[in-house]
Structure 1
Amino acid sequence: MRVIQLLFFILTIQLSRAQEGTSTPLNIGFNNALVYGSPFDVGLDSVYINTNVEKIITNGIKKNAFPGAQVLVAKNRKIIFHKAYGYHTYDSIQPVALDDIYDLASVTKITAALPAIMKLVDEGKLDLDVPFSTYWTRWKGIKDKQNITLREILAHQAGLKPYIVFLNEVFRKNGKAKKRFVRTSSSRRFKNQAYDGLYVKNRFNKKMYRLIDRSDVSREKKYSYSGLAFLIFPELVEQLTKDTFEYYLEKNFYLPLNAPTMGFKPKPKGFSNTIVPTENDTLFRHALTQNWVHDENAALLGGISGNAGLFATATDLAKLMQMYMQYGVYDGKRYLSEATVKEFTRVQFPENDNRRGLGFDKPSLNNSELPLSKAYPAPEVGAGSFGHSGFTGTFVWADPENQMVYIFLSNRVNPTRDNRNLYNLNIRPAVQQVFYKATLPSK
C-alpha cells in the first residue's frame, strides 16, 4: 500500500510540474493566495524602492558581500517587487535569474523542521511542555537532558551545545577521510550521497545521535542558539508519522502549496532551474559546491536534515511564508491551526532576554527603538513579525501587522564563508527597511 501511495504521489508531483513548469507561477487571485501587483497598488513609491534597493545591492556586490542576490517582497497578498542582481559567481558569467534555486541553509529550520513539528503539535502527537525524552526516548536515561522540553529546545532556551563539527569524525589527523564512514561510490551500506562521488555510511546518523547524547548541557537556562535538536527532528517525525521526513513535508505542505522546487536534494529531481553555487570547498568536497547542500552536518545525513538542506526559489518560499503570515491558511486551504501558528510565533522567554519564538526568530526585544545599525531586522517591522536567516546568505521574514513578506536570497559564502560583508554592511535589514519607508503621501 505504501509503495502504491508513494508512486501515486510522485506521479502527481510530475504531473504538477508538467502542467505548471518549474517557474512555479502563482495562483490567479483565488481566496488568499499571492498574486502579482505593483508597489503603487499597495500605496508604495516604485521609484524610491527601485533606486534604493539597487543602490544597497550594488554596493554589496562591489564590496564582495555576495556575487549576486535577489529580493522578493509581497504586501497585502501581492508580490510588488521581485528582482535579481549580479551573477552566480564573481567571474560574471551566469547572471542571477528570478527562478534560480537557492540553498536555504538554516532557513530550513522554519521551512522543513517547523511545519512538520507544528502539524504534529496540532494533532496532539507532540506536547511542547512534557520532557522531550517522552518522544526521543534515548534521552530518558541522560540526567542533563531527560527533563528538557520541546518548548525550551525550539526557543533555544534548553542549554544545548550550539554546534558539533561532525566532519571531525570523518577525517583522520592526516586529513584523509575514514573509509568506514565515507566512500567514493555507493553501495548497500553507503547510500547517502553528500556530493558527486561522495557517499556517507547509512548509519552515520546513529553516531551523530551518540555524540549529541554525550554533549554538555548548560546548567544555566538562558538563550543560546543550538541546531543540534534539528538534526534529530527528521528521525522523530518518521517515528511519529511512519512517513519519511521528505515525503511527509511534500505531501502535507510543498505539493498542496504548489511549491515544487521546495525540497531536499534538488539535483536528481531534474529541474530546469539553475541551482546557485555556494562555497568553493577545499576541505570536504574539494570543488565548488553546487546542486548539493553546503552545510556539512546536513551533507553527512545525505542532504536531508532539519537544520539545513532545503532548497527553493523565492516564489515558492513566499507561498510558505504567506501561509504562516495568514496563520496557517493559503489559497483556501488550512495547513495549521491559527492557535498553533500564533503560539509558535510569539516570544517565549522575554524575561530571560530571549527574543525567540518557537523555532522562529523574532525582532530584537526593543527593536523599534534602535537605529538600523543595531536593529534586527529593520526597526520598522511589527513586534509580531517573525522569520529566520541562513548561513549561505538567505533571509525570510513575515510581518502580519504590516502584511508584508520579505525574501532575500544570496550566496554570500561564494567563494568562501569568510566573506562577512553581508553582515558588516547590514544589507538585509537595510533592503527590508526600504519597503517600510516607501509609503506614498496621502492625497
Structure 2
Amino acid sequence: MIPRYAFILFIILFSILSKLRSQIHGNQLLKETSRKTDSIITKGIINKAFPGAQLLVAVKGEILFHKTYGYQTYDSLLPVEKTDLYDLASVTKILGPLPLLMKLVEEGQLDLDVPFSKYWPAWQSKKDKKELTLREILSHQAGLTPYIVFLKEVLEKGKIKSRYIRTMPGKQFQKQAYDGIWVRNTFEHKIFREINRSAVDSIKEYSYSGLAFLLFPKLIEKVTGNSYPYLLRKEFTFPLNIPSLGYLPSKKGFPNSIIPTELDSLYRKDLVKGYVHDENASLFGGVSGNAGLFGKATDLFRFMQMYQNYGHLDGRRYLKEETVKEFTRIQYPNNKNRRGLGFDKPLLDNALKDLKDAYPAPSASAESFGHSGFTGTFVWADPKYQLVFIFLSNRVYPSRDHRQLYELNIRTSLHQLFYDYLDKL
C-alpha cells in the first residue's frame, strides 16, 4: 500500500511536470507565432506598406508580445522604438470623445434615443436632421454625409486664403494647425454650419460618417461646462496613468519620438510630424473628435484593456459594465449594420469568411470590438478570448496613396495568428 505522503508527493510532482510541459509548449508556440509575425511585417516593409511598425498583443491583461520593426522613414535613420508616439487618426474616436459620451449617457446627461437636436439646437430647424438620435449617429445608421473636405474652404487655386489662415498667431488666430499655420478662431463655426447644412440620406442604412465626431467635443463642453481636453485627462488618461495619450504632442515636451506621417505638398508643404495628419482635425487646431490623438502602444493597451474589462482596470471603475456592453453591442443587425455605438465590430458573417475577406480576424468573437485609423493604426479587444491587439504604423508615409497595408491584408493576418496561438495552447 502506497503511503499517503508518497501519494501526495506524486500528485505535486505530476502537477509540476504538467505545468512545465505546458510552459514549454506555450514557449514553442509563441516562438513560432513570433517567427510568422516577423515574416508578415517584414514583407510589408519590403513592399513599402510602411517603413516601420510595431505590434503589441496582450492576453488576460498581461503583455504577451511587443515588438518593433523597421524605421520611421525609408531613409533608415531612426529605428522604431516602443515608446514612439503615433498619430492615431480615427482611433481617436473611441479613445477621445466616445468614453466621455459614454460617461454622460450613464450619468443621464445624454440620452441615446431622444433627438440629437435636443443637445445640438441648430438641427431643430433641419427637417432631415431634427429627429436623428445619438444612437443612430454613433452606429452610422443616420444617413449623414460621409465626409466633407473643409480644406477647400481655406485654399483657392492652391494658395491659402489669408481670411482664414495666417502665418503668425494673433488675437483672432489662436489655433495652430502647423508650424506657420494659424487658423481663425471662428473657423470652427463655419465647419459646424456646413455640417448642419449637409445632406442626409433618406434611406437609413449603414454608411460610415465621421462628421458628428467633429461636433462632439463642442457638445461635451456645452453639456458639462468644462473643456473637452481637460475632461479627457481628468476622467481617463491621467487615472489610467497614460499621460502621453493626448492631443498636440509637439507642445508637451515629451521625450518620446513622434512618428511622421505624410509628405504634404498641398497644404502644409512639409513632412507632417508632431501635428495631426487629418486636415479637418488640423483646422480645429489639432484638437478634434475625429482625429488628433497621439499615443504609444502601451497607452492604447491600457485603454483597450479597460474597455475589455467592461469599464474596470486596476481596482478602479471608469465606466459602468452595462454602459460598455451597450456601446460595444451591434445596434442594427437587421439592417446589415455591424457597428456598435462608436465602436467597430466584426463583419456580421465574419466567422464564415476566408482570411482574405474577413474583418478583423475570422476567429474574432462577436463580442469583440475596436477601430482602425487612416494613418495605419488598429486597436481591437476581445472579451471572450481576453485578447487585446494593437498594431501601429505610418502607412501614409510618404503618401496616402500607399495601400499595400490593405492589399497585403497585414493587420487581419497578424490578428489571426494570435487567435491560432490561443487555440493551440
Note the C-alpha offset of 1:309: 0.3
2:253 equivalent in structure 1: 270
- Residue 199 of structure 1 aligns to a residue whose secondary structure is strand
The verdict on how the C-alpha distance between 1:439 and 1:344 changes in structure 2, with shifts beyond 3 A counting, is closer
Cα distance in structure 2, aligned partners of 1:305 and 1:44: 44
- 1:57-89 CA-partner distances (Å, limit 9, x unpaired): 000001110000000000011101000000000
1:142 equivalent in structure 2: 126
1:17 equivalent in structure 2: none
Match runs of 1:157-168 below 5 Å? 157-168=141-152
Q: Which has the higher helix share?
A: 2
Amino acid at match of 1:108: T
The verdict on how the C-alpha distance between 1:441 and 1:377 changes in structure 2, with shifts beyond 3 A counting, is closer
Matched, 1:295 2:296: no
Matched, 1:222 2:208: no
Cα distance in structure 2, aligned partners of 1:376 and 1:268: 36
Q: Structure 1 residue aligned with 2:140, among 143, 146, 156?
A: 156
Cα distance in structure 2, aligned partners of 1:353 and 1:44: 41
Q: Structure 2 residue aligned with 1:50, among 7, 11, 34?
A: 34
Aligned residues: 404
Task: Provide the identity percentage.
Answer: 58
Note the C-alpha offset of 1:439: 3.9
2:16 equivalent in structure 1: none
Cα distance in structure 2, aligned partners of 1:179 and 1:373: 48
2:385 equivalent in structure 1: 402
Amino acid at match of 1:289: V
Matched, 1:342 2:338: no
Cα distance in structure 2, aligned partners of 1:167 and 1:40: 56
Cα distance in structure 1, aligned partners of 2:310 and 2:317: 9
Note the C-alpha offset of 1:257: 0.1
Note the C-alpha offset of 1:41: 10
Matched, 1:69 2:53: yes
- 1:232-284 CA-partner distances (Å, limit 9, x unpaired): 00000000111111000000000000001100000110000000000000011
Note the C-alpha offset of 1:411: 0.2
Question: Which one has the largest radius of gyration?
Answer: 2
Give the TM-score, by structure 2 length.
0.93
Cα distance in structure 2, aligned partners of 1:141 and 1:306: 24
2:349 equivalent in structure 1: 366
- Residue 419 of structure 1 aligns to a residue whose secondary structure is coil
Cα distance in structure 2, aligned partners of 1:311 and 1:112: 11
Note the C-alpha offset of 1:161: 0.2
Match runs of 1:356-435 below 5 Å? 356-435=339-418
The verdict on how the C-alpha distance between 1:222 and 1:269 changes in structure 2, with shifts beyond 3 A counting, is same
- 1:185-228 CA-partner distances (Å, limit 9, x unpaired): 00111010001111001111100011011110000000000000
Match runs of 1:112-131 below 5 Å? 112-131=96-115
- Residue 137 of structure 2 aligns to a residue whose secondary structure is helix
Give the TM-score, by structure 1 length.
0.90
Matched, 1:181 2:164: yes
Note the C-alpha offset of 1:42: 7.1
Cα distance in structure 2, aligned partners of 1:355 and 1:234: 25
The verdict on how the C-alpha distance between 1:244 and 1:45 changes in structure 2, with shifts beyond 3 A counting, is same
Asked whether the 8 Å contact 1:61–1:86 carries over to 2, the reply is yes
Cα distance in structure 2, aligned partners of 1:303 and 1:372: 36
Note the C-alpha offset of 1:43: 7.7
- 1:157-190 CA-partner distances (Å, limit 9, x unpaired): 0000000000000011x21111110010001110
Cα distance in structure 1, aligned partners of 2:24 and 2:116: 49
- 1:281-333 CA-partner distances (Å, limit 9, x unpaired): 00110000000000000000000011000000000110000000000001100
Cα distance in structure 2, aligned partners of 1:433 and 1:213: 41
Matched, 1:330 2:344: no
Note the C-alpha offset of 1:49: 1.5
1:256 equivalent in structure 2: 239
- Residue 44 of structure 2 aligns to a residue whose secondary structure is helix
The verdict on how the C-alpha distance between 1:133 and 1:398 changes in structure 2, with shifts beyond 3 A counting, is same
Asked whether the 8 Å contact 1:191–1:201 carries over to 2, the reply is yes
Match runs of 1:29-108 below 5 Å? 45-108=29-92
Amino acid at match of 2:194: L
Asked whether the 8 Å contact 1:105–1:310 carries over to 2, the reply is yes
Which segments of 5 or more consecutive residues in structure 1 lack a partner in the other structure?
Answer: 1-38
2:4 equivalent in structure 1: none
Cα distance in structure 1, aligned partners of 2:139 and 2:24: 38
Matched, 1:213 2:201: no
Amino acid at match of 1:70: Q
- Residue 377 of structure 1 aligns to a residue whose secondary structure is coil
Asked whether the 8 Å contact 1:42–1:75 carries over to 2, the reply is no
- Residue 57 of structure 2 aligns to a residue whose secondary structure is strand
- 1:81-104 CA-partner distances (Å, limit 9, x unpaired): 000000000111110000000000
Asked whether the 8 Å contact 1:44–1:439 carries over to 2, the reply is no
Cα distance in structure 2, aligned partners of 1:40 and 1:238: 53
Asked whether the 8 Å contact 1:43–1:439 carries over to 2, the reply is no
Cα distance in structure 1, aligned partners of 2:136 and 2:373: 21
Cα distance in structure 2, aligned partners of 1:440 and 1:355: 25
Q: Which runs of 4+ in 1 moved over 3 A?
A: 39-44, 439-442
The verdict on how the C-alpha distance between 1:42 and 1:210 changes in structure 2, with shifts beyond 3 A counting, is farther
Cα distance in structure 2, aligned partners of 1:78 and 1:327: 16
- Residue 45 of structure 1 aligns to a residue whose secondary structure is helix
Which segments of 5 or more consecutive residues in structure 2 lack a partner in the other structure?
Answer: 1-22
